[in-house]
Amino acid sequence: MLEIKGLKVKLEEEDKQILKGVDLTVEAGKVHAIMGPNGSGKSTLSYVLSGRDGYEVTGGSATLLGEDLLDMETEERAAAGLFLAFQYPVEIPGVGNMTFLRTAVNAQRKARGEDEMSAAEFLKVIRAKAKTLKIDADMLKRPVNVGFSGGEKKRNEILQMAMLEPKMCILDETDSGLDVDAMKLVSEGVNALRDEGRGFLVITHYQRLLDHIKPDVVHIMADGRIVKSGGPELALEVENNGYADILAEVA
Amino acid sequence: MALDDRKMTATEERLSSMTLPDVGCTAKAREAALVRVRSMGLPGRRDEYWRWTRPDTLVQPEAPEAALFQGDEVPFFSGRDRLKIVFVDGVFDPARSDDLNLEGIQVDRLEDICCTDDHWAEDLYGELEAAGHDPVDRPLAALNTAFAGDGVAIRVMQTPSKPISLVYFHESTDSDVFLHHVVRVETGAEVTILENGPAAARFNKCMEIDIADGGTLHHVRAQGRDHERRAVTHMFARMGEESVFKSFTLTANGVLTRNEVMVELTGDNAVVHIAGACMGDGDFHHDDTVFITHDGVNCESRQVFKKVLCNGATGVFQGKILVKPDAQKTDGYQISQSLLLDGDSQFYAKPELEIYADDVACSHGSTSGAIDEEALFYLRARGVPHGKATDLLTLAFLAEALDEIDDETIAEEIYERLEAWLSRRRHG
Ligand SMILES: Nc1ncnc2c1ncn2[C@@H]1O[C@H](COP(=O)(O)OP(=O)(O)O)[C@@H](O)[C@H]1O
Ligand SMILES: [Mg+2]
C-alpha cells in the first residue's frame, strides 16, 4: 500500500535535516503504529507524505499503490487515497463544515472520474456517520473547526476520514487532548474503517490508543529514522520503560 | 478660507460648461448647492480626504470614455419580484420600468415632485447633503444636488409587498450622469431598495435618506462591473428613534469607484449597518468612505468592509465613528479588511474613532493579508484543488460582509455570483 524507502527530508528554509532515511512499508489491511520522542520527525513524515510546503526531499522515495506520491500535488495525493488526520486540525472561519466536506468528497470523485454525490445523498450519509461519532447538526453547520474543542476537532477529522473513504490513513496524534470517552469514539470510528483494502499509520505517544486500535506492527522513530520495529509488545515496552532503553540499545 | 488658485480654476473650469437644470421645484436647492460648490471647490489631489483616491477624472469637465462591458451575464436581481425603476445613462426609461404605483409607497420623478401633496421631497432635496459637509467637505455631492438631471422621490408610508429596484443601464460610451434620489421611510414602515448596474461612463449619484422613528430601510446595491466606468456616490441618511438602516454594497471592477456614506443617528435606539464587499481584479480602484455620527442614546453602528484585490487593484477604506457627548451607551463597531491575492495590489485604510461620551463601547480593526496557507493546505489535503480551495477561502473572507444582508435569498444570489466570477476567473 504505502512504501517509503530511504526518505530524507530537510527544511527548505534552513539547513536542517529532519528525516535521515526512513524505511517503512504499510501493507493493505494492516495497522502500523509509529511512536517516538517529541521532535523525532513523526509529523514531518506525515506532512511530507501529504505534500506540505516548506520541506525538501533530498533522497529516497514514497509510493502509494505503486504511484510516486512525491511527484503529486497535495490534492492529487488525496484523490489517490491518502488521508492525514492532522495533529492540529486547522480552523477555517467562513467555510461551513458541511460545504467543506461536500466540496472535498466531490472534488475527489471528480478527480477519479466518478460521479459527484448529490446533495440529498451526501446529507443522508453524513448524518449517519456524524451520529456514530456524536457530532451534532450544529457542528456540521458551523465553520470548519472554529470554536470546536480539542476533542471535537479530532472527531471531526475522523468524520472526514469516514466520508472520504481513503485507502491509506495517517493519524497524527489523534489521541492527544482526548478524554476516555472521546478516545473510545475516535477508536471506534477508526476501527469501523478497518478493512482488507485499507492501510493505517497511527502516530501516537501512548499505549492507551493502541489498546483500542490494535496495531499489527509498531515502529519506534528517533532522530529522523525508524530505529526499531516489532509487534504490539513494543508499545507496551515504551509505556513501561520510556524510550531510553530502546534508544540506548540501538545506539 | 480662500481656495487656492489651482482648485478655484479647476472648479470654474468644470462649472463653465454646465447649466443648472430646471427640474421640478428644486431651483432654490440647486442655487444654494452651486454656492456650496464654489465655496468648497471641487476635490483636488492634495485634499487629505482624497489622499488615496485621485479625484482628477471625477472633476475634469469631460467624462473619460468608458467602453460598454460585453458580458453575457444576467443582471442582478433579475427574476425577483420587484418594482423596477430603470434609468438608461441617467435618464428615466418608462418603457423599461414597471408601473410605479405600488400600495404603501409613492414614487415620483424629480421633475414631478412639485405635484406631490406636501413638500417633503422638495424640502429633503439637498437638505441632508447641505448638512453633510461638517466636518469634511463633500463637494461632489453638492455638485450633484446642483446638476442632477433625473432621479426619484420615494416615500414609504407602509411596508410595500416587494422591493423597489433601481436599475442603471450604461449604453453610451461617453455618458456623464448625475442622479439624485430622495427617500423617506415613514414611522413603522419597512422597505428594501435595490440598486444595480453600471449606470454611465461617469456616474455621480446622490441619495438622501430620511428614516422616521421606527422605520426600516434595507439597501442592497451591486455596482456594475464595466471595466472602464467611473462612479462617485453619496448616501446621506438621517435616522430617527428606533429606526434601522442596513446597507450592503457589492463593487466589482470599474476603473474608479468612490462610495461615501454619511449617517446621522439622531434618535435613540437606532441601528445602522453599512457593509461592503469588493472584488478588484485588474487596474481598478475602490474607495469606501464612511462617516457615522452618533447623536442618540443606545444606538448601534456597524461598518464591515471586505476587499479582495489582485492584479494591480487598489482598495481604500476611510471610516469614522463620531460619538457626540450625549450619545451614551453607543455600540460602535468597524472592521475593514483586505485579502491580497498577489503582490501587485494595495489596500489603504484609515479607521477613526472620535468619542465625546463616556459610556460607550466602540471597537475598530483593519487588516491586510494573503490567503491563509495553513487553511489552503488543509483543504488541499482533503482533495480540494488549489484554485477551488482559494475560491472557498476568498468567499469565506467576504462572508462577514455578506452576512450583513438580512434577506437570505439576496445574500445567496450575491454569493453565487461571486462564486461564479471566481470560477470564471480561474477558467478564463
Ligand atoms: N517547519 C518547520 N520549521 C522549523 N522546524 C521544523 C519544522 N518542521 C519540523 N521542524 C523540526 O523538525 C523536528 C521534527 O519535528 P516533528 O516532525 O514535528 O516531530 P514529532 O512530530 O516527532 O514531534 C523538530 O526538531 C522540529 O522542531
Ligand atoms: Mg508531531
Considering only CB atoms, A103 lies closest to which of B392, B397, B399, namely: B392
Set of chain A residues whose Cβ sits within 8 Å of the Cβ of B397: 94
Q: Across all residues in chain B, what is the average pLDDT?
A: 95
Window from A97-106, B220-229, B283-292 with minimum mean pLDDT: B220-229
Separation of alpha carbons B387 and B396, rounded Å: 14
Q: What is the pLDDT of residue A250?
A: 74
Q: What is the pLDDT of residue A98?
A: 93
Write out pLDDT tens, residues B16-74. Answer: 989 999 887 899 999 999 999 999 999 999 999 999 999 999 999 999 999 998 777 89
Q: What is the pLDDT of residue B117?
A: 64
Ranges of residues in chain A whose predicted pLDDT is under 70 = 251
DSSP H helical ranges for B17-108: 27-40, 56-59
The residue nearest atom 24 of ligand 1, judged by CA position, is A39
3-class DSSP state for residue B317?
Answer: strand
3-class DSSP state for residue B76?
Answer: coil
State the cell numbers at B331. 455600540
Q: What is the pLDDT of residue B400?
A: 92
Q: Answer whether B336's CB lies under 8 Å from B349's CB.
A: yes
Determine the distance separating the centroid of ligand 2 and the alpha carbon of A205, expressed in angstroms: 9
State the cell numbers at B242. 428606533
Write out pLDDT tens, residues B143-155. Answer: 999 999 999 999 9
pTM across the whole model: 0.92
Q: Which residue has the cell 471592477?
A: B253
Q: What is the pLDDT of residue A71?
A: 93
- Minimal CA–CA distance to B350: which of B365, B340, B333? B365
CB atoms within 10 A of CB B226: 24
Pocket test for ligand 1, best of A8, A12, A18 (most atoms within 8 A of CB): A18
pLDDT band at B207 (very low <50, low <70, confident <90, very high): very high
Optimal mutation site among B337, B371, B378, interface A, most CBs of chain A within 10 A? B378
The ligand minimizing its distance to the Cα of A41 is: 1
Q: What is the pLDDT of residue A240?
A: 84
CB atoms within 10 A of CB B415: 17
Across residues B233-249, what is the average pLDDT?
98
Q: Answer whether B82's CB lies under 8 Å from B163's CB.
A: yes
Separation of alpha carbons A96 and B269, rounded Å: 33
Rounded to two decimals, the ipTM of the complex is 0.95
Set of chain B residues whose Cβ sits within 8 Å of the Cβ of A73: 380, 385-386
Write out pLDDT tens, residues B119-162. Answer: 899 999 999 999 999 899 999 999 999 999 999 999 999 999 99
Bridge-based pairing of strands B271-281 and B300-310 is parallel
Is some CB atom of chain A closer than 8 A to the CB atom of B367? no
- Minimal CA–CA distance to B395: which of B348, B341, B345? B341
Q: What is the pLDDT of residue A86?
A: 94
Set of chain B residues whose Cβ sits within 8 Å of the Cβ of A89: 378
Quote the percentage of chain B above a pLDDT of 90.
89
Q: What is the DSSP string of B109-134?
A: EGGGGGGSSS-HHHHHTTHHHHHTTS
3-class DSSP state for residue B221?
Answer: strand
pLDDT at B1 over 60: no
Q: Ligand 1, closest atom to CA A44?
A: 17
- Minimal CA–CA distance to A130: which of A141, A120, A146? A141
Q: Which residue has the cell 512504501?
A: A3
| Orientation of helix B27-40 relative to helix B139-147, angle to 10° | 150
pLDDT band at B104 (very low <50, low <70, confident <90, very high): very high
pLDDT at B116 over 70: no
